[in-house]
Amino acid sequence: MFKGSDIVAINFADRSLEALQLEKLGNNYEVKAWSRLALEQDVIEDGKIILVDRLRRLVKQLFSQAQPKSLSPKEIVFSLPESKVFSESMLLAA
């Protein structure tokens, strides 16, 4: 699924951004770097990105302030909140 040995995951929430870089070691993963940034009001509201340019700058800041070293991911994993995704299963009989 992933080409490299490192995975970066990002969580976008209404009031914070979080990033975690994992490094594959054998069959396991270890935390390589992490970062968390509080968001001011109105950047993301109810899961919707309101201030796109501001969020872009904040993600760059999130990556640069990561500990113990900054992040420069080539691949990123993210997910969509279940409350914001519409899905339905149907059985169609012929």
pLDDT at 2 over 70: no
pTM: 0.78
The domain ranges of the chain are 6-79
Residues with Cβ within 8 Å of 2's Cβ and at least 6 positions away in sequence, in order, are 75
Q: Read off the pLDDT of residues 19-61 as tens digits, 9 standing for 90 and up.
A: 999 988 888 889 999 999 999 989 999 888 999 999 999 999 9
Give 54: exposed, middle or buried? Use CB within 10 Å, 0-12, 13-18, 19+.
middle
What is the per-residue pLDDT for 91? 78
- CATH architecture designation of domain 6-79: 2-Layer Sandwich (3.30)
What is the per-residue pLDDT for 59? 94
Contact 62, 37 (CB under 8 A): yes
How much of the chain exceeds pLDDT 90, in percent?
A: 47
What is the per-residue pLDDT for 1? 56
